[in-house]
Structure 1
């Protein structure tokens, strides 16, 4: 008993003080580095560490300074909630509450026996006797029981356990895998977020390509490119800070040389300008340092998860499910980071001595100080030629026997495909998950040409011969509004408050909604401009099927590129994916051309007879094509790993 009391006394003296406030712990929480702090102390530290970061991705441990990533997904929780998402150190809480650490099972029998061990799985203290029975009983025989003096083990939470927990639904275990979205799911995810999906399997049954060594290598290469881009941006911004110092020193010397030859008035003005220069330099470097801090934290965040991925990769005994979870987490982290805004700040301080500086008595200043700031977008998405080198497999086909002349279509918010049958004056709703199926045919008052989903519950349908656009409810397909235009409206694309329409004779752009007067005619030199699209930069893409041309322009009408090719004849069908890559069908050349954002040919898909409409589904990497005979065909793009 004396030995136990001594152990307990030493334990209390060593661990009951928070290293931040140096007072007894108040609701101790534990970080992944295994250091514990008061929840309020940790909250204050997080707030001070992330004050200039946008968005904050983590913080250094107050004790060991190791980088701690933010809980959950990027931006999921506010800074105020971060401390509450780290686990409570129940061992410390038990010691603080009672002063002595008593055996929990014995307390339930109204006995007070000092504990010597701690069960990680039960988060309970055990005396020597209860520890023996704890290890003998079958339900608890596999639990990890350690000495209460070994706090580094007692409070440790393995990373592999956190991988198995759903971030969206706290405490739920990830057990299923959605094939459609390539994403692990808990039971709540399946019933709520993926209730319209049909392809699920157990984690252990997922294809090797999604979680095997090839995928790990593929992700590792992407992360390395990602890190390299951020590191380069950091170095360039630090070099910019050095250039500011050089410029500051140069201009200071010029002022000093001039002031040495001038009377007392120069001294007064010299002091004024040096003060202005110092202030401007400090502000400029402060802004650059804030930008560097943001980039460095994103790099730390990425390196942290990269290290976790490489640890799992290096362990040959790592279970397939854990490899999958690790890969999935890494993939999603990359996607979340890529969705952040990236820009490189450049500040150029310019100073020019006035030509008439010699006549100082007539001037109130000697120079002009200007700080030019330019935010240049940094492309952090790894440069890869997925579409140029991807493996393409046929993903199914459907002969739509009831259709006569399909001209356009789009995916609704529920992932259903809505096609426009110009010949039958109807809309055709299709299910494209699993077996391709026609779900519904809806007659409308006109001959539809193009379909464009504009909001979660709305869709636009063009009627070129009637010079109208219909606004429909995407669930019921009932007409909510009919908009009359003074032009034949064939193809249509929208982004924000901008709408672009192909009128066959030209391409026109509307702003503020279709009811507004057209704001610009973007093209009038090309005819047969039926198909139009808008990319993620709001550049307009359109094709001319009699000139065999695909063109991209900005809103001001400046041509960014014009694409022609001997193997592209009579382009029909046009689409652009979220990466800016362009798909155009060659009606008379029986193929589909895939172009890069800049208009470079990535590849040609041959053997597709008379394509009339194309659409790329970003979430599934599938290309949908309708040909002259109303055959709906699907092509699955699979990224290469070698």
Structure 2
């Protein structure tokens, strides 16, 4: 460690302060500051501030309640170099043990036992040539756009929510006209309940919008700082880079959490026989939220160890007049607004379905679309693979105003049959291996491989916390469970598990598997070791099931088959 750093620590020892009194320092004393003067741009302890106030009665003096404003005053540390824990100090060091930027105070207080403390000028050498630093403006711009889109979606949701409220109130008042004065109390009770729900929903939307605005502005400010310092020294740019990385991680977590929430909405259902049963009713009808709760997803209404049972199903035809062949549904996912996206392998199409499972739009892909996964906002990723043409691609498609638009694609040197994502990582299955990429297509690692068959890594699903990965081994009739380091945690086999194809894990951790050759859908425990239930069989209408998705919005399993229909199975 450099000698000037050591003396800096030794000077204050256990009495190092966030802010030291400026007047005391001039006398060689080390006293903690409790006040800051905007005009003098100096710090004062409790004794020195009394002298200052007598001499400068009109100066604005801030106490510890406004300590955040101290750091913003002229003459303090540059915003990029400022230590957030100790605003009066500059970031000069990096702790390798904790992977943290530190000032001298941080090291003295929290990192005395650490063995890997480096000066930032040493670590920052070559930062301008670092590929991740050079990609930073593009990554932040893309992330800010996603945040802006999410904020706009929430604002539109707010408008539709108000319209929904108005429509429900109109219905309530229409019912009111058919009955007598006894309805006055019921109308008041029902509208109050509606207003309460609408208010709760508005608060959730407002919170999301504020979160988007805050992180959007933070990213903009830090990028402005970096770009304005572009000609400055590498340490400053390195600090900005590290801070921006932290904000990017935080922003992605916010987007991921918000993307899982279904569109906020309210439904109303009139009580049957309301006129005859008026005297026994307190409200006009039931008001129910059709979205997930803002604090946690809808699947959390079922305990994590809940074993599902079916209560009926319905078939929906998804063929189009332009289809040349029977639909072969290989992938299914759901958008935040409740729309469904499916891949039709036989007809080389990606189809958009409304909430009633009717086809409203489609887009063509070059050939052979396989899996489709929701990435965030209104964006999905589609696996496109054809070995004959050496085509192994992931197409990103945006859904805007009911239209599917391909925005970009990634190409791989290996097969691309299944995909999912968590945080900033894409997980791609290649039939025999599982690869991890960044969202921009940079290979991170080959996480897992099994060459014992042709389709040992067919489809993949990842738990909400990113710690558990489920893989269907189609060739060997197995469900493989890994941790996020690629270590095998479990291998599940069962007489019913014949040709496992699709796998889906809910946000609460319920695991479902579709079995192509045994014509069934299974529920497996979260550890991937035990069969909990056989939910549907061939006699229930399941034939060669491939794609599988659990809809939190409707509490139903959506199963894709090798024909022109989707099978929607209600569960409880």
* TM value normalised by structure 1: 0.43
